[in-house]
Chain A
Amino acid sequence: DTGVSQNPRHKITKRGQNVTFRCDPISEHNRLYWYRQTLGQGPEFLTYFQNEAQLEKSRLLSDRFSAERPKGSFSTLEIQRTEQGDSAMYLCASSFKPYEQYFGPGTRLTVT
């Protein structure tokens, strides 16, 4: 049984650098979500894909963030010109039924 996988699991970068994270959803799941979670808070919605279409994007997401899901399979989340405030756990989730989401292990980003 393969769940949602994310790579890398940890990323340390210097302020101003670009970073890219990858998410591989459960194979039959056509819905994919990205969240950001900081210590003591719940996951914060970033964006949603249904197949290859990005159907919703949080207003909290600045222009420095972009996500893609080519061919409706894996997804990437890129952060350009990273800032210290971007330090967080970035979580990917996928689902077959609406909203019943299954999370990956996350990518922990540290911006120094």
Chain B
Amino acid sequence: QKEVEQNSGPLSVPEGAIASLNCTYSDRGSQSFFWYRQYSGKSPELIMFIYSNGDKEDGRFTAQLNKASQYVSLLIRDSQPSDSATYLCAVSTGGFKTIFGAGTRLFVKA
């Protein structure tokens, strides 16, 4: 079992719709959770982080964390073609190491 699992996609949504990206993790001791966006040929860019159960909103992005279910999600409202990228879920257990999933490719159709 991979430590951080994501559906590789591609996830295709029409412009203006809500994109929902999901991630599960295996280590119950995980404490910090992150979402990175990576455009093709570029390096990852931090877009959201969440430490506590519940929802955290930042602009069009909402991160959701459910530690009991070991589940993290990212919602992107009013999706734009510029949101088309690979979204990486990352998890830290409290040490110095961050474990990344393989990413979900999102395609927003104009």
Report A's interface with B, CB cutoff 8 A.
33, 35, 40-45, 48, 50, 55-56, 58, 91, 98-106
A105–B96 CB distance below 8 A: no
Name the one of B4, B42, B46, B88 contacting A105, with C-beta atoms under 8 angstroms.
B42
Q: Name the B residues within 8 Å of A44 (CB-CB).
A: 100
Q: Known contacts A99-B49, A103-B44, A104-B43: does B96 contact A42 (CB below 8 Å)?
A: no
A55–B101 CB distance below 8 A: no
Q: Is B92 in contact with chain A by the CB < 8 A criterion?
A: yes
Chain B interface residue number, banded: 20 to 34
Q: Report the number of A-B residue pairs with Cβ-Cβ less than 8 Å.
A: 51
Report B's interface with A, CB cutoff 8 A.
4, 8, 32, 34, 42-46, 49, 88, 90, 92, 95-103
Q: Closest CB-CB distance, A99 to chain B, in whole Å?
A: 5
Known: A40-B102, A104-B43. 10 other contacts (CB 8 A): A35-B100, A43-B100, A45-B98, A98-B92, A99-B34, A99-B92, A100-B46, A103-B43, A103-B44, A103-B45
A100–B103 CB distance below 8 A: no
Q: Known contacts A42-B88, A99-B32: does B96 contact A56 (CB below 8 Å)?
A: yes
